[in-house]
Structures are given as structure tokens and as C-alpha cells.
């Protein structure tokens, strides 16, 4: 059985949880912050989840009382745009992956800002909003 350390395959779907305020469903548009590294949560890279380990509903779980959308991305599309995808399983979360180029320490660099703009265009779909659990 896989433990989350195996390489992320190009055909794998990845989930990015996005706060409700950062997605406009009427326009189908994300706020720039949707793919920005968080200053304390994304120290080693922007976090996503692997579909093979989590349902989209599980990926949508965040802070209590908050609603989230989930952007669905394909690993191949990220790599085709120069964005590395690395498995980073966590205790209780073998499906955790990171985009190491987009991390808290590099958040203000021009290349990272450009990658964030690219990420805004890559989701295959957006699901939600998911109600708080």
C-alpha cells in the first residue's frame, strides 16, 4: 500500500482549498490570494491534497465555521508550467503535497508572483462552497 511518499503521477488530480471570499463563482475567478503561500502554513511550499488519498469534501475541511471552495488541478498542468509538485505526507494526512517553489520565504519574489498568476488559470474545475463540518 502506498504511504504518500511515492512520486505524484502526471495524471493525478490535486485539490487546493480556497476560502469562500477568494473565489467569485459568478465570474469564475479567483482572488490573487487563492494560490499565495501563507506566511506560517506554507513554510516549505504551497499545500494541496491528492485525490487518491482524499475526497473533495475532505480536502474542503478547514477552519471551523468557514466555507471553502476546492480548485481541482492536474499535476501534469502544473509541471508543464514549471511548477514542481512534491509528496509531503503529514501524520494523519498521507495525501499532502506541496509546491516547493511557492513558499512563505519566497512569497514576494517576482517569479513566485508570476507562478501564482499561472495557477489562477489552471484549475480544471472548482467545487463548492462546502459547508463547515
121: in domain: yes
Dihedral pair phi/psi, residue 47, rounded to 5°: -90, 140
Q: Answer for the pair 13, 56: CB distance below 8 angstroms, yes or no.
A: no
Residue 49 located in a structural domain: yes
- Residue 33, in any domain of the structure: no
For residue 119, tell me if it sits in a domain: yes
Quick: pLDDT tens for 11-69: 999 999 999 999 999 999 999 899 999 999 999 999 999 999 999 999 999 888 899 99
Of the candidates 38, 45, 39, the residue with the CA atom closest to the CA atom of residue 14: 45
User: Is 97 domain-assigned?
Assistant: yes
Q: Which domain holds residue 113?
A: 13-24+39-126
| In a domain? residue 3 | no
For β-strands 86-87 and 23-24, DSSP reports them as unpaired
Asked, for residue 74, whether it belongs to a domain, the answer is yes
What pTM was estimated for this model as a whole? Answer: 0.95
| pLDDT single digits (tens) 90-128 | 999 999 999 999 999 998 999 999 999 999 999 999 999
Question: How many domains does one find in the chain?
Answer: 1
In whole angstroms, what is the distance from residue 87 CA to residue 2 CA?
Answer: 12
Amino acid at each position: 500500500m502506498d504511504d504518500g511518499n511515492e512520486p505524484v503521477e502526471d495524471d493525478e488530480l490535486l485539490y487546493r482549498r480556497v476560502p469562500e471570499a477568494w473565489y467569485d463563482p459568478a465570474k469564475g475567478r479567483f482572488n490573487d490570494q487563492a494560490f499565495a503561500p501563507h506566511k506560517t502554513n506554507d513554510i516549505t511550499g504551497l499545500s494541496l491534497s491528492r485525490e487518491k488519498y482524499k475526497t473533495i469534501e475532505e480536502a474542503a475541511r478547514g477552519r471551523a465555521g468557514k466555507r471553502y471552495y476546492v480548485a481541482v488541478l492536474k499535476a501534469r498542468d502544473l509541471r508543464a508550467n514549471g511548477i514542481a509538485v512534491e509528496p509531503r505526507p503529514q501524520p494523519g494526512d498521507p495525501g499532502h503535497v506541496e509546491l516547493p517553489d511557492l513558499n512563505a520565504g519566497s512569497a514576494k519574489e517576482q517569479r513566485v508572483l508570476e507562478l501564482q498568476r499561472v495557477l489562477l488559470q489552471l484549475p480544471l474545475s472548482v467545487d463548492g462552497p462546502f459547508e463547515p463540518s
